[in-house]
Structure 1
C-alpha cells in the first residue's frame, strides 16, 4: 500500500464511509472490491466535495480506531500488538482552511456564525428557526442556573489503585488570572460549582 491521500474527513457522527472515484483509482484498488449500496444516502447538497475520502463510524468501528481531534491523529491496533498512527500533514491542513463563515445577529447581543456557502433561501430559513427558538440556547452559564448534579455531572474515571501525583503549579499571566476568576464567578453565580 503506502499511498498519500490528501483531504480525508473523519466524521465520528457519520454512518457512511465514502471514497470518491479519483481516490479509488489513485490507490489502485481493484474494481471487484466495489460493493453496491441500495440504501438512501442523505445529506449532500450536490456540491462537489473537496475531500477524497469521508470516513465515518463503520470504518472507525471496524478498525477499532481512536480519534484525537486536538492532535489531529487517528490510532488503531495492528496484528501483533503494534499501533498504527495516522497523522495530519499540518502544512496541507493550513492550505485548506475550514469553510468561510460570517457572523449573523439573532437579536441584540446574540450573534452566531454560519457558513457562507448556504443558499440565500437556506440561510434565511436557518436564521428564522434560530430566532424563533432563541430561548432554547444557553448563551452563558447564568442562562442555565441550578442544574442538579445528579442529572449532569462530570466524573473522572481514575483507577483507585493509581499513585497520586501532585502537578507542578502553573503560573498564569495577569490577563489569564482575570479571565479564570471571571469565569469561576459566573459558574458560582449559576450554582454550577
Structure 2
C-alpha cells in the first residue's frame, strides 16, 4: 500500500479497507498429542464467574447452554439468583427435564469474555456445563472434535484451547454407569 499523500491527483477509493484476521484452520499438526481413532466428546476447561471450571462439554448440536447442580453449588449460587425459565428441555436420555431457572454469568476462555445465560437443571450429568451454538457464535469459536480443540480470534491472535480426551472418556464411563443403574430393577429389602 502507498500512502494517499504519495499519489497526487488520485482520489481515495470509496471502498474502505477491510482488515481481516488470520484464517482459522486445522491441519495435521493439530493432531499431535491426540489419542487417535477416537470418538471423544469435546471437553475443555474454562472460567465461569471467575472460577476455573472443568468438564465443560462443547456441543454444536443444540441451542441451550445448560448448567448442572455441581457447578451451580460450586459457584456458591442460590435459587434466589435464578430468573424464571419455563420451557422444558429434552435430556440426552430422551426424557423431559424441567429447568430450575436461568442465570446470566460471565464466561472467560483465554482472555475472551462473553456473558452466557445458563439454564440450570437438576439432573445427572458428568459434565458441569454444556456450551452450545449461541456461545459458539458469540465467541466466534471454530471447533473440531477430530482435533479435540477449539480455536477463536482474540485481540492477540488466534487462541487455541485443547480438549481433554481423558476427562471426556471418564465422563462417558460415568454416563454409561448411570444408565446401567437406572435400568437395574429395584432391589427388595428384607423386612
Structure 2 length as normaliser, TM-score? 0.42
Which structure has the highest strand share of the two?
2
Q: Which has the higher contact order (CA 8 A, sep 6+)?
A: 2
**Greater share of residues in helix:** 1
TM-score by length of 1: 0.41
